[in-house]
Amino acid sequence: MTTATQHAYDSYEALVEDYFEKGWTDGLPIMPPTPEKVTAFLERAGLSGDEVLGTVPTREVTCTAEQAAANAVMAGCLPEYFPAVVAAVRAHLSPKGNCHSTTGTLSGAAQVVIINGPIRNELGVASGAGCFGPGFRPNATIGRALRLVIRNVCRGIPGFLDRASYSTPARYSFCFGENEEASDWEPLHVQRGLAPEQSAVTVHSLMKMVEATDFTSRTAEGVCDTLVSNIRANGIAGDSWLGEDGNVVIVIGHEHHRFFIEEGWSKSDIQQHLWPRLNAPATSAADRMARIGKPEGILIVAAGGAGMGASWLLLPHLALAITEPIV
């Protein structure tokens, strides 16, 4: 049963145009959040509409399950995606997810949703070739649902509380899965304390994406050198409020992953190898300290397709990466 105000329209086109007019979309058409669909989404997640998923105290915002469901419908989600959306909203709205800062910042930080566990394959979340881009409904709509919640519930509207100088296309949607089947690497959510059979999302606040290309290395250590030099070219300042728990996400591409597997490197081996090198003192403006408090703060994720000798560095904005189980 929905408690939201209901509007009647003569046609789908009239509804979409009115939503554009009212500023309820990200600039793209939406699906109508009918009471029936919103109820179906809530039932799928086993939630009542008034359950609170999180708050943004600085904005006087409380996000309920019903609001999240309406935005998930609008984003084009299927009902079975909604538990993942709920987890993403909860993660983003946790205190150290720092919604107010990461969605209001001049830098235009984006929110990355990384999906782990069995739900990836159940929903068809892309984790291989093309997984950062268009063409995959779960990736496109789960990430978009979080962004619509940020806009329509958390008031992250450009020119209002969203003060980004440029913003980024990653703010339409940025969601992908970890390719857990690529190797015996411990999946991200297991590294963060959850059981392998538990599905989960990790929401990471993204300041900047850097492609770390390396077509010449043929060893794990050589790839690590490339990762370090690319991260240190940007630097990571760290933040006293976040303390020692800050993160950087490194998405290891297929061709680089191959070298780690051949040489028997685990994720932990990579973390231990990278950590002192990232935290070493700066030597120049182009070689800066990347301040990560602990090796475990370096989050290693396997994803992407074959071909390019590249990994991606998801450099953080002022928030922790938050892992939340999908229930």
Partner 1 sequence: MELEWAGVPSIAIVHEEMRGSAQAIARVSGCADYEFLTVNYPWVPIAIWSKEECLELAEIMAPKVLAALTGQN
Contacting residues toward partner 1, per CB under 8 A: 215-216, 218, 255, 258, 306-309
> Please, what is the minimum distance in Å from the beta carbon of residue 132 to partner 1?
17
**For partner 1, which is the closer residue by CB, 95 or 307?**
307
Contact 319, 242 (CB under 8 A): yes
Q: Are 180 and 120 in contact (CB under 8 A)?
A: yes
Alpha carbon distances (Å) from 35 to 29, 69, 79:
19, 10, 13
CA separation for the pair 231, 202 (Å, rounded) = 21
Q: Which is nearer to partner 1, 54 or 253 (CB)?
A: 253
Question: 130 vs 276, which CB is nearer to partner 1?
Answer: 130
Q: What is the DSSP letter of 284?
A: B
Residue with Cβ nearer partner 1 (108 or 309): 309
β-bridge pairing 175-177 and 110-116: parallel
Residue 216 tokens read as 């010449």
Q: Which residue, 218 or 294, is less far from partner 1 as judged by CB?
A: 218
Minimal distance in Å, beta carbon 182 to partner 1? 14
CA atoms within 13 A on the CB side of 212: 29
Q: Are 144 and 26 in contact (CB under 8 A)?
A: yes
**Shortest Å distance, C-beta 133 to partner 1:** 16
Closest contact distance (angstroms) between CB of 310 and partner 1 is 9
Alpha carbon 270 to its chain's center: 22
Report in angstroms how near the CB of residue 257 gets to partner 1 at its nearest. Answer: 12
